[in-house]
Amino acid sequence: MAIIYNESKKTFSLQTLNTTYQLKIGNLNYVKHLFYGPRINDEDLIYLIRRYDRGFSGNPYDSLKERTFSLDAQPQEFTTQQQGDFRINSIEVQNADGSFSFNGRYVSHKIYSGAFTLNGLPTAFATENDTVDTLEVVIEDAVTHVAVTLLYSVFEEKDIIMRAARVHNGGEGMIRLKRIMSMNMDYLNGQNLDLISLPGRYGQERQVERQMLTHHVHKIRSGRGISSHQQNPFIALAERTATEEYGSCYGFSLMYSGSFLAEVELDQYDQARLVMGINDRLFSYHLEAGEDFDTPAVLMTYTHKGLARMSHRYHDFFRDNLNRSKFVMDVQRPVLLNTWEAAFFDFDDVKLLKIAKAAKDMGVEMIVMDDGWFGKRDDDNSGLGDWFVNENKIKCGLPSLVEQINALGMKFGIWFEPEMVSEDSDLFRAHPDWAMEIPGRRAVRSRNQLALDVSRREVQDYLIESINRILDSANIYYVKWDINRAITDLWSNDLPGDQQGEVSHRYVLGLYRVMDGIIKTHPDIMFEGCAGGGGRFDPAMLTYFVQYWSSDNTRPLDNLKLHYGSSFVYPISSMGAHVSTASPMVPIETKAAIAMCGTFGYELDATHLSEEAVARCKAMSDLYHKYYDLNFFGDYYRLANPFEPVNLVAWETRAKDMREALVTVVTVNLTMNGPQEYIKCKGLIPDQRYRVEGDGNVFFASGMALMHAGIPIPREVPEFTAFMYHLTAVE
Ligand code: DGJ
């Protein structure tokens, strides 16, 4: 059992292989947070909390004039409202009588084996190799009977705890949730913590920022209706001295694909509080008597062994526990060529077949027909929503096109943008009220398209039916599911005016229902997500998509930063990355080496390549398969940080048994006649001898030497050279 309840101490210890999380039913039945850190035995850590009479921090009435007990200074599991705690909080509810108060006290708990699931929201699952137990703790307001169940699933071997909250309106009247976070995390000592986040923008997603906590509320959020290019729903809190190898790091990854919020406050006593969940901006959710509301889940991890270990925890978990598709583990994903940067909207069946024939010799195994094959779609101003084949372009019809591609020995993939509608489309002409638009106003256009109101059942059913019809009409192996604008004009014609604060969240729930109806009903199709690149790259999406298009920016050197940032939480196997014609000064081999830090493919017109270039691509496609297991299932190490003024950027993937590794080094800035540079490997067996093959040489060295002295990197080479060193253990 990964959860120990100590009846006499009233402590719950959530035990993973290497960590302990402890909470306790404390004075006046408030649920206290005591500890999250390295694994300790079943001991009561209440001794950590000292109480003082703090001025201007009031005391609950039933503490009976005891001035040293104030929620403003106490670490708690879920923070209440209007009880003298002035910090950021977990819940804000307007009660049936109009008051804003929630005083949650422990009423019950239960412990069971297996992971919790949520109503309409994706969660992680236990594999047959996992030990998973769940704790549910119910806190309730004695006056309103509004209750919150705190959910904790402990994935013992994975060092991951999944958390969420479920609100139950146990009163008699309707209540309104103004804010409901998935979790609260209090730190007794926050002054030595740094906040790490992954901000970005379109074309430059998931860069890395690390900042000191200071005495204010730090907000990381998206209000764009998608998890967004601008911020990712992941943050880490790390000790100021923490590095890749050493120091305490706490990771928080939210399984949600809409507007989210993570707040961290360093309070007046240098305690830190973190909350994470649905963005409360433009949010308000009404609950009738007896109704429940589930928040999305957060995946938490802790390690005192540095940032690399934190990333490994997430990589393993995202690979094993999010998605049951056979393309995650069992079936190698083919080398694909996507037609977007090859042809944009200018293609027909004949051109696609020509590209496919030329691509075959590059080692391409699947052709993906991107945007432009449906409705009336010759540019991005029309056609979205009309999910039927444009027979002016695909003159032979879809089944025949797919058969001809299959006859070349290649698989076929197709693109959709389900959630959108063009004003110039049959769908919009038939159902103008299905687009999100606030009555009396005109909707914001973006890429000249509108968002469908996916919160509506009939819209969901239309999408499921029309897209499944295409998927079932031909031998389709792969789908790219795109979205190319943020969500604005939050309004649903299906909801009364006083429930419009629910639209943003209901959109996300509707989207998951649509994805259930299309993706989960087609287990033999490989699905890749996309949001104008990586604008909705989050763990909830990875429960549906085996990979996610990282960015519309295919410039290889920019991708060095993108991969580095993404790798804090996302595994290589989830990051779509292609070789394109962008950055002509960078050789194909370097572009390919960088794309192998993702799922690898091409995004170019194969008919325009010289024979020599085709042969070079073929060699790289072969390498993708050769290193597939290492890259997809090994441990990934960041070796050199592209955000620093380095001359070399490097990373390593190492097999779990530590007997094989691939070290990739890219020269980004070599000055003439400069010093010899070395790249130090990581995660090798110190006294094991390795054969190292790369840069045209073979040499032998121990793991200790390779980790502490490194590999000397040739320097009199052209700019942007990539070296791939293959390390194998020898006797
Ligand atoms: C944005 C995607 O990121 C691109 O790869 C491409 O699919 C376009 N949309 C098509 O409109």
> Residue 155 and residue 153: Cα distance in Å, rounded?
6
> Residue 402 and residue 413: Cα distance in Å, rounded?
9
Residue 671's pLDDT band (boundaries 50, 70, 90)?
confident
Residue 64's pLDDT band (boundaries 50, 70, 90)?
confident
Q: Which residue has the tokens 């499944």?
A: 468
C-beta of residue 100 within 8 angstroms of C-beta of residue 81: yes
pLDDT of residue 423: 98
CATH assignment of 334-419+459-484+512-630, among 3.40.920.10, 3.90.1150.10, 3.40.190.10, 3.20.20.70: 3.20.20.70
> Residue 689 and residue 495: Cα distance in Å, rounded?
67
pLDDT of residue 551: 98
Task: Pick the residue whose CA is nearest to atom 11 on ligand 1.
Answer: 371
| 314 touches ligand 1 (CB under 6 Å) | no
C-beta of residue 550 within 8 angstroms of C-beta of residue 558: no
- What's the 532 CA to ligand 1 centre distance in angstroms? 5
- What's the 578 CA to ligand 1 centre distance in angstroms? 13
pLDDT of residue 577: 97
552 an active-site residue? yes
| 549 touches ligand 1 (CB under 6 Å) | yes
pLDDT of residue 441: 97
Q: Do domains 3-321 and 639-730 have the same CATH topology?
A: no
Indicate the SS3 state at residue 727. Answer: strand
- What's the 345 CA to ligand 1 centre distance in angstroms? 11
| 544 touches ligand 1 (CB under 6 Å) | no
- Active-site annotation holder among 294, 316, 482, 558: 482
Q: What percent of the chain has pLDDT over 90?
A: 98
Q: Is the pLDDT assigned to residue 672 strictly greater than 90?
A: no
pLDDT in tens, 87-143: 999 999 999 999 999 999 999 999 999 999 999 999 999 999 999 999 999 999 999
Task: Pick the residue whose CA is nearest to atom 9 on ligand 1.
Answer: 532
Residue 81's pLDDT band (boundaries 50, 70, 90)?
confident
pLDDT of residue 670: 84
pLDDT of residue 676: 95
pLDDT in tens, 351-366: 999 999 999 999 999 9
Query: How much is the average pLDDT of 583-608?
Result: 97
Ligand 1 atom with the shortest distance to the CA of 552: 3
C-beta of residue 71 within 8 angstroms of C-beta of residue 31: no
Ligand 1 mutation pick, 202, 485, 552, max ligand atoms within 8 A of CB: 552
Query: How much is the average pLDDT of 525-552?
Result: 98
> Residue 203 and residue 558: Cα distance in Å, rounded?
9
pLDDT in tens, 275-324: 999 999 999 999 999 999 999 999 999 999 999 999 999 999 999 999 99
- Taking the whole predicted model, whether its pTM rises above 0.75 is answered as yes
Ligand 1 mutation pick, 341, 371, 536, 553, max ligand atoms within 8 A of CB: 371
pLDDT of residue 356: 98
- What's the 110 CA to ligand 1 centre distance in angstroms? 47
CATH superfamily of 3-321: alpha-galactosidase from lactobacil brevis (2.70.98.60)
pLDDT of residue 42: 82
| 720 touches ligand 1 (CB under 6 Å) | no
Q: Is the pLDDT assigned to residue 339 strictly greater than 90?
A: yes
CATH superfamily of 639-730: Golgi alpha-mannosidase II (2.60.40.1180)
| 532 touches ligand 1 (CB under 6 Å) | yes
Task: Pick the residue whose CA is nearest to atom 3 on ligand 1.
Answer: 532
- What's the 558 CA to ligand 1 centre distance in angstroms? 18
Ligand 1 atom with the shortest distance to the CA of 603: 5
| 530 touches ligand 1 (CB under 6 Å) | yes
| 537 touches ligand 1 (CB under 6 Å) | no
pLDDT in tens, 681-709: 999 999 999 999 999 999 999 999 999 99
Ligand 1 atom with the shortest distance to the CA of 531: 3
Residue 205's pLDDT band (boundaries 50, 70, 90)?
very high
- What's the 703 CA to ligand 1 centre distance in angstroms? 43
Residue 327's pLDDT band (boundaries 50, 70, 90)?
very high
pLDDT of residue 678: 97
Q: What does the block give as tokens for 710?
A: 């490194």
| 535 touches ligand 1 (CB under 6 Å) | no
pLDDT of residue 1: 81
Residues with Cβ within 8 Å of residue 577, at least 6 apart in sequence: 550, 559, 563, 594, 595, 596, 597, 598, 599, 600, 601
Q: Is the pLDDT assigned to residue 58 strictly greater than 90?
A: yes
| 677 touches ligand 1 (CB under 6 Å) | no
pLDDT of residue 433: 97
Task: Pick the residue whose CA is nearest to atom 5 on ligand 1.
Answer: 552
622 an active-site residue? no
Q: How many residues does this entry show for the chain?
A: 731
> Residue 576 and residue 530: Cα distance in Å, rounded?
9
pLDDT in tens, 377-390: 999 999 999 999 99
Q: Is the pLDDT assigned to residue 474 strictly greater than 90?
A: yes
| 565 touches ligand 1 (CB under 6 Å) | no
> Residue 194 and residue 471: Cα distance in Å, rounded?
47
| 205 touches ligand 1 (CB under 6 Å) | no
Ligand 1 mutation pick, 340, 480, 481, max ligand atoms within 8 A of CB: 340
SS3 content of the chain, % helix, strand, coil (to 5): 20, 30, 45
Ligand 1 atom with the shortest distance to the CA of 549: 3
C-beta of residue 298 within 8 angstroms of C-beta of residue 116: no
Domain extents for the chain?
3-321, 334-419+459-484+512-630, 639-730
Calculate the alpha carbon distances from 135 to 2, 120, 226, 377 in Å: 10, 20, 30, 52
